[in-house]
């Protein structure tokens, strides 16, 4: 049986930060043989979750011998992942034109490979800002609030990089040819906004922050503070779920008829806030447990692993003393590989070079 659905895929990842390493980790979780090209050896770090399941090869890309070894490694791979600014790989002599035609060359950036900002530094918050998404996040009476770095870095970045890689793998099965995948966060974030764009076009979404169905304005789609200082999340959008919210929270049943009357929302939010402040988070969680009211306690990172549902599914695992996510998604016939702690940076250099055909003497020279 194959060890994961991607066990046949060979990936070379040029080490960096953020979305590209996560993409490599997720491919490794699904069985791909992911080899990172690193600049300098370092001890194993169990907290470097994005390195789990990968092998590491240290090469000096500024030397002719190191560059030649990198070219051999690329030629033996199906996919290359890099997350540098445009033209960095070209300057190293490892751009797409220097690689085999069958290679899928996956490039991860914030701004993309071209355009006025292509060579400019940026972070998740900046990419969200220029796509319009950040303006919609947070309360109406304060500046927008960044959603950690989940939306642009990992949603619009990592996930679209993976979509591009796997789409190109499928297409290569037809054409026999590789191609460059240009995954830009400023492209990926808008691609996830189909529902919002539809509501904007229909006139059912206001560009005023904190005035809409999904941005915290609706009393039935927001978080409330409980008696203990913790929070409860309420997402009772559909009428039948809204009715259950009213019933179990002891709120007026008459509110059902005017659920979507925005003129009522401010007063109802204050009313519901008073109601939820009357019990602790865990008391409310017990009241709504097993119902379809779409109410759930807001857990901290450390609490989440102990929730009965998360525990039953094994959503989180402890590896080397570090809490982290189990591989996702799940497969019935080719389950993902078991999660193990990251190895030391450079630990696999000798084995990788040997597989590329280097003799012992040359390997020692390359490894310094």
d(CA 153, CA 128): 9
What letter would DSSP give residue 327?
Answer: P
Residues 6+ positions from 200 with CB-CB distance below 8 Å:
207
d(CA 237, CA 225): 19
Structure tokens at 340: 């193990």
- Residue for token pair 């030397």: 63
Give CA separation, 59 vs 42, 214, 366, in Å: 13, 48, 7
Strand order in the sheet with 231-235: 221-225, 231-235, 295-297
Task: Mark whether 153 is an active-site residue.
Answer: yes
One DSSP character per residue, 191-220 reads HT-HHHHHHHHHT-S-SSTT-STTTT-STT
One DSSP character per residue, 106-139 reads EEEESS-SSSTTTTS---HHHHHHHHTTGGGSS-
Task: Mark whether 135 is an active-site residue.
Answer: no
Structure tokens at 31: 């069985």
Residues 6+ positions from 122 with CB-CB distance below 8 Å:
110, 111
Q: Which of 33, 38, 78, 153 is catalytic?
A: 153
Structure tokens at 354: 């040997």
- Residue for token pair 């020279």: 365
Crossing angle (nearest 10°) for helices 239-249 and 265-276? 40
Q: Which of 45, 48, 60, 123 is catalytic?
A: 123
- Residue for token pair 């966060």: 185
| Residues assigned a catalytic role | 123, 153
């Amino acid at each position: 049986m194959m060890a994961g659905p991607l066990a046949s895929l060979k990936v070379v990842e040029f080490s960096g930060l953020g979305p590209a390493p996560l993409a490599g980790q997720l491919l490794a979780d699904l069985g791909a043989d992911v080899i990172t090209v690193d600049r300098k050896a370092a001890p194993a770090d169990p907290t470097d979750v994005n390195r789990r399941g990968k092998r590491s090869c240290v090469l000096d890309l500024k030397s002719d011998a190191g560059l030649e070894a990198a070219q051999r490694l690329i030629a033996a791979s199906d996919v290359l992942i890099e997350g540098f600014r445009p033209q960095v790989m070209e300057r190293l002599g490892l751009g797409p034109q220097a690689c085999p035609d069958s290679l899928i060359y996956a490039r991860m950036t914030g701004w993309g490979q071209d355009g006025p900002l292509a060579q400019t530094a940026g972070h998740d918050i900046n990419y969200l800002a220029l796509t319009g998404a950040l303006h919609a996040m947070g309360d109406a009476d304060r500046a927008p609030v960044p959603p950690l770095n989940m939306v642009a870095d990992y949603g619009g970045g990592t996930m679209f990089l993976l979509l591009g890689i796997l789409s190109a793998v499928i297409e290569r099965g037809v054409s026999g040819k590789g191609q460059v995948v240009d995954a830009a966060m400023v492209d990926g974030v808008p691609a996830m906004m189909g529902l919002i764009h539809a509501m904007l076009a229909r006139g059912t979404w206001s560009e005023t922050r904190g005035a809409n169905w999904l941005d915290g304005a609706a009393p039935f789609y927001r978080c409330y503070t409980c008696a203990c200082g913790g929070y409860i999340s309420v997402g009772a959008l559909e009428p039948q779920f809204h009715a259950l919210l009213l019933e179990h929270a002891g709120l007026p049943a008459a509110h059902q008829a005017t659920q979507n009357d925005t003129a009522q929302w401010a007063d109802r939010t204050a009313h519901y806030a008073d109601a939820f402040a009357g019990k602790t988070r865990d008391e409310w969680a017990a009241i709504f447990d097993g119902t379809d009211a779409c109410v759930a306690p807001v857990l901290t990172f450390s609490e989440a692993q102990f929730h009965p549902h998360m525990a039953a599914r094994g959503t989180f695992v402890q590896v080397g003393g570090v809490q982290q996510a189990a591989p996702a998604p799940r497969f019935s016939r080719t389950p993902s590989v078991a999660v193990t702690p990251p190895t030391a940076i450079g630990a696999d250099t000798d084995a990788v070079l040997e597989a590329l055909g280097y003799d012992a003497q040359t390997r020692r020279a390359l490894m310094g």
